[in-house]
Amino acid sequence: MALAAASPSPRDAAGNQLEPLKPAAEQAARLCTGDQRWCAGIDDDSATLSVFTGPTGAAVASVELEQDEDETLAVWPQMARLAAPGAGVLIGVERRRSASYSGGGGGTTVLELIQVWPDRSRPPRSVLTLPLKGEIMIRACFSKQDFADRKGACQDIYTFDATLTLAPETASGPPKFQFATLAKAFPPKASRGTPTPSLKRLKKSELVPTPDLACSYRRVLAFDPKSQTYRPDSPLPDCDDYTTP
């Protein structure tokens, strides 16, 4: 059976390209573009991000990453190849954190984009940090009465999922990105800042995850030459319930 041809990676009108990264056959610790032109990997011992122009060659750029004790690092499995001559690439680092506590726990992922110039003409720089994923579960039942009132739904659950894609209409200069999020709470009354007793006596209709409209939003992110970072077209809301473990 013939394999279907791979769909082209998204490009904007300026020629900037967002493409997937996959493990290299020669170096499984490296993620590479389909044409093997760009690869990236993180050394866990030194928390160093390295960028390569091939799956087996030496690093052309390295970044020492700051890392908290409760944080693990991974290469974001996408890369933005910039169209402007000499502009390099945007490599993503996923910063993953987890926490556990009585009756619950959770994990979150934050994305940091770093611009890298392979000719070492400039030092790498962080240009964007965004929440990418979250799943928090907190116990809510402490007695048989709690169990009955909550119809057996004994955990408050908060989920957050985000996507970062190219804005295709960008005609020149650095890429713009579209950022879309979906946050859901279960039950819909759940709030990490609200005492558990106020969440009793759930209705059957409330036993489904419900989108939180305040934390489900869309933004366009554009590069700001003054700050040398990406800025949203309007401020991001405070969604710590979903993005802080």
Q: What confidence score (pLDDT) does residue 133 get?
A: 98
The span from the CA of 174 to the CA of 241, in Å, is: 33
**Taking a C-beta distance cutoff of 8 angstroms, is the pair 195, 238 a contact?**
no
Query: In the chain, what are the domain boundaries?
Result: 17-242
Q: How far, in Å, CA of 219 to CA of 234, rounded?
A: 7
Per-residue pLDDT, 155:
80
**What confidence tens digit (pLDDT) does each residue in 26-66 have?**
777 899 999 999 999 999 999 999 999 888 888 989 999 99
Express each pLDDT in 92-114 by its tens digit.
999 999 988 767 889 999 999 99
The Cα 49–Cα 36 span in angstroms is 18
Tokens of 217: 């939003």
In angstroms, the CA 226 to CA 45 distance is 35
Q: What is the strand order of the sheet 22-23 is part of?
A: 22-23, 31-32, 39-43, 48-52, 59-64
Residue found by looking up tokens 């974001």 in the block = 76
Percent of the chain surpassing pLDDT 90 = 62
Task: Residue 18: name the closest of 118, 90, 94, 73 by CA.
Answer: 90
What average pLDDT does this structure show over 76-85? 95
Q: Which long-range contacts (CB under 8 A, 24 or more apart) does 18-24 make?
A: 18/78, 18/79, 18/80, 18/81, 18/165, 18/166, 18/175, 19/78, 19/79, 19/81, 20/77, 20/78, 21/75, 21/76, 21/77, 21/78, 21/79, 22/77, 24/55, 24/56
pTM score of the predicted model: 0.89
For the chain, how many residues are written? 245
pLDDT in tens, 157-176: 899 999 999 999 999 999 99
